[in-house]
Amino acid sequence: MRRYLAGRLGQAVAVLWAAYTVSFLVLDLLPGDPVSAMAAGGLDQAAIEPAQIEALRREYGFDQPILVQYLNYLGRAVRGDFGNSVATGRPVTSTLADALPYTLQLTAAALVLAVVLGGAVALYATYTAHRWLRQLLMSLPSLGVSLPTFWIGLMLVQLLSFRLRLLPAFGNEGAASLILPAVTLAVPTGAMLAQLLAKSLLTTLDEPYVQTARAKGAGRTRVHLRHALRNAALPAFTMAGILVGNLMAGSVVVETVFSRNGVGRETVSAVTVQDIPVVQGVIVFGASTFVLANLAVDLIYPLLDPRIVVAAAQQRSTG
């Protein structure tokens, strides 16, 4: 187990390093640098002296060769220092730390909604004896997956905020302001989960062991929840890492649409003004979340599926 864990942590570090390096190279390929963006008056509308520009370039290290820049930044990033935002001058880490709670609230609420709604749709669609209801429920997930997040957000705002005046349309004050963004963010994720779980449930319900359970005289609910769902949830659970990634990506759009503070909105503004240190910080943060979510899935999986311990041992002896 310890060796397995060490191996997985090693992989996680490699993924983070790769994400950092690739993003560094891509950002370097972009024309111009933040200092020229500032000089063009993009930030505070005031022109800057050429000598000042040179001084700023030196300060941020943009005058050095790319490899030296890379090693410098990487060295500091390893110690948790992603530099200062070009736009605000504040450290990247504290910029993100300030934004993080809002995003966490949003994604956590969306995740709970997605699991509850998606799971309910999948369970009921495969449980109901009414053909029309089954078909209706089964078509919901593909609809949810195909609707763009911003459109869902705008429609909800139109209806619930402007027409019915039930919920605030934007901002991040109070729990009420969380509802619309969380629902918007939960729709595509929940739909994806429902699709996967419903398909997995249908396959599982055809398994011989489900017939064994029915032959014991177990009721439909018992068969559905105890036998089918326990098994069908396993493939869906492996998707959890990807779902978390989805939510992160979705938060960029949702926070913009609803003008909420958060990591997503920081990302958008950083990209617009080419605030490279912040963009890099966001990328490493996103990659870490993704890696941690997947690591958690891998560690929890053997607890849910007793067969997996053996498989892991086999992999190690052959690999």
Q: How far is 314 from 311, CA to CA, in rounded Å?
A: 5
User: Can you read off the two tokens belonging to residue 25?
Assistant: 């190279």
Is residue 313 near another protein by the rule CB under 8 A? yes
Is residue 30 near another protein by the rule CB under 8 A? no
Stretch that binds another protein, among 86-94, 149-157, 228-236, 272-280 (CB under 8 A): 228-236
Torsion of CA 31, 253, 289, 305, to 10 degrees: -140
For 142, left (φ over 0), alpha (ψ -120 to 50), or beta?
alpha
Q: How far is 114 from 225, CA to CA, in rounded Å?
A: 19
Is residue 89 near another protein by the rule CB under 8 A? no
Q: How far is 262 from 260, CA to CA, in rounded Å?
A: 6
Is residue 7 near another protein by the rule CB under 8 A? no
Q: How far is 260 from 171, CA to CA, in rounded Å?
A: 5
x/- mask, another protein, residues 233-262, rule CB under 8 A, reads: -x----------------------------
| DSSP secondary structure letters along 17-62 | HHHHHHHHHHHHHSSS-HHHHHHTTTTTS----HHHHHHHHHHHTT
Residue 233 vs 283, nearer CB to another protein: 233
196 and 239 Cβ atoms separated by less than 8 Å = yes
Is residue 214 near another protein by the rule CB under 8 A? yes
Residue 42 vs 302, nearer CB to another protein: 302
Residue 303 Cβ, how far from another protein at the closest point, in Å? 11
Is residue 203 near another protein by the rule CB under 8 A? no
Q: How far is 140 from 181, CA to CA, in rounded Å?
A: 20
Residue 76 vs 226, nearer CB to another protein: 226
Residue 113 Cβ, how far from another protein at the closest point, in Å? 27
Which of residues 36, 222, 242, 298 is near another protein by CB under 8 A?
222
Amino acid identity at 177: S
- Reduced to 3 states (helix: H, G, I; strand: E, B; else coil), residue 129 is coil
Is residue 314 near another protein by the rule CB under 8 A? yes
Stretch that binds another protein, among 16-24, 44-52, 225-233, 265-273 (CB under 8 A): 225-233
Q: How many residues bind another protein (CB under 8 A)?
A: 31
x/- mask, another protein, residues 271-310, rule CB under 8 A, reads: ---------------------------------xxxx--x
Q: Which residues bind another protein (CB under 8 A)?
A: 1, 206-209, 211-220, 222, 226-227, 230-231, 234, 304-307, 310, 313-314, 316-318
